[in-house]
Copies of this chain bind each other. A is one copy, B any other.
Amino acid sequence: MEGLTINEAARTTGWSPRMLRYVEQTGLVSPARSPAGYRLYGPAQLQRLRTLKELLGRFELGLSDVAFAARMAVRPDLRDAVEGWLETEARRPEDVAPGDWLRFEQEKHEKLLAVA
């Protein structure tokens, strides 16, 4: 029995057993399994669970937010598309010649979405 079982892990991380299963379901922290199927949390998982809790509390995030970030981290096409869309938001008309900036935006969006 290499590692803590779910109730032990719950006690040392502050999550409930129920939530540990839910966190696993989101794909954010997945423990190993014993031959009989018991969840076995190692030091790495325990640490990740604690810091995850910190992260969520500090910024008022939901698990789904972090799960979405994870999805972006693993899929460059997603990330590029989202960040590309967001980049145009900050851009101001003053940055570009009066007649050009709209066409610029348009082509940029088209390119980004076409590639993705």
- Does A82 contact B55, Cβ atoms closer than 8 Å? yes
Q: Specify the main secondary structure of chain A where it touches its partner.
A: helix
For A113, give the chain B residue with the smallest CB separation: B54
Indicate whether A32 reaches chain B with its CB closer than 8 angstroms. Answer: no
Query: In the assembly, what is the distance between CA of A50 and CA of B93, in Å?
Result: 19
State how many copies of this chain the complex holds.
2
Chain A stretch 62-116: residues in CB contact (< 8 A) with chain B: 65-66, 68-70, 72-73, 78, 81-83, 85-86, 88-89, 93, 102, 105-106, 109, 112-113, 116
Known A58-B116, A81-B55, A81-B58: A86·B102 in contact at CB below 8 Å? no
Which A positions have Cβ atoms within 8 angstroms of B?
A: 28, 43-44, 47-48, 50-52, 54-55, 58-59, 61, 65-66, 68-70, 72-73, 78, 81-83, 85-86, 88-89, 93, 102, 105-106, 109, 112-113, 116
Other than the given A51-B113, A69-B83, 5 more pairs (CB < 8 A) read A44-B105, A51-B85, A51-B109, A52-B85, A61-B82
